[in-house]
Amino acid sequence: MMLDLHVSCNSKNESDSLSKDTTVLSTTIVDNLKNRLISATNKFKEVLTMRTENLKAYENRRQMCSHT
């Protein structure tokens, strides 16, 4: 009976440890993905901003050429 109780306690502790490890791993993965998404979003915004500026410059040059 005592041996069964000891084995049961060890099993519970191992299960808790695995659960905590799984939670830590999941949190780490989610944080990593979140950071990668933020980085990709910022890079995309930079590309859109650059593209908008290039289109404005192109339109300005086109208007200058058509007025001369």
* Alpha helices (runs of H) in 1-68, residue ranges in sequence order: 2-67
- pLDDT at residue 8, rounded to an integer: 56
Residue 34's SS3 state is helix
CA distance 11 to 26: 22
Q: For tokens 């930079």, name the residue.
A: 46
How many other C-beta atoms can be found within 10 angstroms of the C-beta atom of residue 19?
10
pLDDT in tens, the chain (68 residues): 445 645 555 556 566 777 888 999 999 999 999 999 999 999 999 999 999 999 999 999 999 998 75
Its pTM stands at: 0.61
* Number of residues written out for the chain: 68
- pLDDT at residue 37, rounded to an integer: 97
Using a CB cutoff of 8 Å and minimum separation of 24, what contacts does 13-22 make? none
